[in-house]
Amino acid sequence: MAVDELQAIIQRCQILEEADFRGEDYNLFQVAGQKCLEDGYAAQLLEVIQNVKNKVIIKNMGWNLTSPLVRCILAYKQEDEKREHCLKILDQLVQLCNPKELFLGLLEQIEQASGEQVCQTVMLLLQPLQTVLLKLQNKKAYSVGLSLAMIMNQLTPLPVPYTKQQIQEDKLGVCQCCNAVVNFAKPFVNEVKNVEKSSEYNDTELKEELLKFCMKSLKYPLLTAQLEQVEGIEEHPFRHFAAEIIDILLDMRELMPLVFSHHKSRGSHWENEEFEDIERKNSADSLACLSYLVFVQHFGINCFPVVFSPSYLLQCNMTHIGVLLKRTEESVLSKGLDLFESCLLRMEDNGLLHQYLEFREFIDVPQDLVKVMTLCPIEHLRKKSLNILQLFIDKFEAEGKYTLFRCLLKTSNHAGVEGYIIKNIKDQIHLSLTKAHDNVWFTGHHLISLLDLVLLLPEGAETDLLQNSDRIMASLNLLRYLVIKDCESDNQTGVWTALAKIEKNFLKPLHVGLNMSKAHYEAEIKNKKENRRESQSSSTICSLTVSGEKMPAMTTEMQLQVLHSALFTFDLIESVLARVEELIEVKLKAVIGENI
């Protein structure tokens, strides 16, 4: 019987001095103890452990029972009396065992947990682990750091609950576990907090370990977590977790240095460049999430001095915004958009100086925004990114808008975006012509230089007019506006001086391109109709290429509709082009008439 075997080993060891315990004794104790647990004799094992005569034996050998003990606790149902006995055994081991050995035993159990048992094991062992760590005398900071790193590494592969239902169900226990880990760390945070201006190495080391934990927590789970208030959830677990992490950073006086760190390395010592790059990326993700928590969700914002200008806060956050916008997950992308929007809404229109565009981030982030607008599959994020781009444009003064427009026209590589920028240029020209004071950036030679980028076909007459229709229509509407609004005698915009170049680079190639495109599509329509008559069926599935892209499989009738739609677009462009040329001719004749 397992209990008899255990008693025999205990009796043998009771007469030995602590120094005389041999490896064989440890093995026999572990095997007998494990058998007691597996055979359901937890109550009898508890009596042996609680016996004062066995205190020295348990101190040295008890930690070996950690593995079978954890397995049994997780296997028993919550209400099972045997489970209660196992929990009492665990509590006794925490009180009696050598802290260093038990620490390693507990950590090993956390490391070996997998799948659904990760959070269960962590939740079970957090309190015992905390008690053991508080008992440690040597290498305490290292042990705390190792514990937190191990726990976070085990949690990180688990999916973060995102929807209201997922958060409420918390199937794997991630929400509950994250908040439990923060409570686990609090005594060690208090140690750092209570040591004021200490130069002791251990205190500094403990602070660094806790800081690493906060940085990991910002990346997981907070970077991908849904952090908005959710109706029906009284205390949002991730909002509570975020508030606790911010409080830890405040207690350690690290919040402000991190928020304004500008991605400076915190003393990385990796010799391997690949490892250093991984650490830098992880740090960038964490700092971006921290900025979101502070400036969008306003965690810890009351502790900030009200001395920073909105433009400085925008500058500090542009790197973080770029990090978030480069991600593809909805939860992370939305944080980037919210952070960008929040920074911009603090600023007044027309107040951001053009010199800010000398910072690389102020050029890179709008390009990231354009990618979201054009490539993101989530509609509400595409729409929001467009609104934020307009907000960003509105914040710059005239020279800044001018510089930004030039940059976006050269880099966007998307006809819809280019058309949108051209519409913005038209609006700025209108303001320049209608305001009392002259705006040199959207009139005269500066404007002509900008129009050189607008009033041209990228590939001349060979340009794909259908693919570039948004840009072409916007350009024609801008030219029509300039011809109507600016008289040749005034020539404020300089458009009349540049008319010959505009005709050469834009109007004439557009005529040729329209004729070629219409002829091509009319021929396609004719072929399709002939093929349809020959097959006597309009339901035949065929393929069609439009604007260089292969369309989904369609019936002949559907293809004809697409081709007719393309022709309609060409007719629309042609009608606006004709109107522009008519206006130019009328204006020039009027000037000739006045001269005569």
Between 7 and 218, residue with greater pLDDT:
218
pLDDT the model gives residue 548: 59
Long-range own/partner contacts, residues 518-522 (CB < 8 A, 24 or more apart): 518/567, 518/570, 521/563, 521/566, 521/567, 521/570, 522/567
Residue 519: name the closest of 581, 460, 465, 576 by CA: 465
Quick one: average pLDDT of 379-402?
97
In this prediction, residue 315 has a pLDDT band, given cuts at 50, 70 and 90, of: very high
Task: Tell me if the bond preceding 305 is cis, omega within 30° of 0.
Answer: no
Is residue 504's pLDDT more than 70?
yes
CA distance 42 to 86: 6
Q: Which of 73-82, 357-366, 486-495 has the highest mean pLDDT?
A: 357-366
Mean pLDDT over 525-550 rounds to 65
pLDDT-based confidence at 147, cuts 50/70/90?
very high
Residue 264's pLDDT is what?
Answer: 47
pLDDT at res. 201: 46
Question: 503 pLDDT band (50/70/90 cuts)?
Answer: very high
Place of tokens 């354009």: 370
C-beta of residue 32 within 8 angstroms of C-beta of residue 61: no
pLDDT one-digit tens code per residue, 416-427: 999 999 999 999
Segment among 23-27, 216-220, 406-410 with least mean pLDDT: 23-27
Give the per-residue pLDDT at 538.
Answer: 47
What is the predicted pLDDT for the residue at 596? Answer: 56
Q: Residue 436: pLDDT band by 50, 70, 90 thresholds?
A: low
Type of residue numbered 568: F
pLDDT at 31: 83
> Residue range 535-551: average pLDDT?
57
Q: 324 with 295: CB under 8 angstroms?
A: no
pLDDT at residue 323 greater than cutoff 90: yes
* Contact in structure between 300 and 255 (CB atoms under 8 Å): yes
Dmax (CA) of the chain: 130
Q: What is the DSSP letter of 442?
A: G
Average pLDDT, integer, range 304-326 = 94
- The pLDDT, as a whole number, for residue 74 is 94
User: Is 123 or 486 the better-scoring residue by pLDDT?
Assistant: 123
Q: Are 97 and 63 in contact (CB under 8 A)?
A: yes
pLDDT over 60 (residue 52): yes
Assess contact for 2 and 39: CB atoms under 8 A: yes
Amino acid (1-letter code) at residue 585: E
Q: Flag whether pLDDT at 19 surpasses 80.
A: no
What residues contact 375, with CB distance under 8 A and at least 6 apart?
none
Model pLDDT, residue 540: 54
pLDDT surpasses 60 at 220:
yes
CA–CA gap between residue 176 and residue 184 (Å, rounded): 12
Average pLDDT over residues 426-451: 88
Among 191-200, 422-431, 483-492, which is the least confidently predicted range? Answer: 191-200
Both tokens of 507, joined, read 């109007």
Give residue-wise pLDDT tens across range 245-274. Answer: 999 999 999 999 999 876 444 445 555 666
The torsion angles phi and psi of 542, rounded to 5 degrees, stand at -135, 170
pLDDT 10s digits, 170-195: 999 999 999 999 999 999 999 998 87
Amino acid at 273: E
Helices 140-155 & 117-135, crossing angle to 10 degrees? 170
pTM for the whole thing?
0.89
The radius of gyration of the chain from alpha carbons, rounded to an integer in Å, stands at 36
Tell me which DSSP letter residue 436 carries.
S
Crossing angle for the helix pair 360-375 and 330-345, nearest 10 degrees?
A: 130
Two tokens at 179?
């908040």
Query: Average pLDDT of the chain?
Result: 89
Considering only residues 556 and 218, tell me which one the structure prediction assigns the higher pLDDT.
Answer: 218
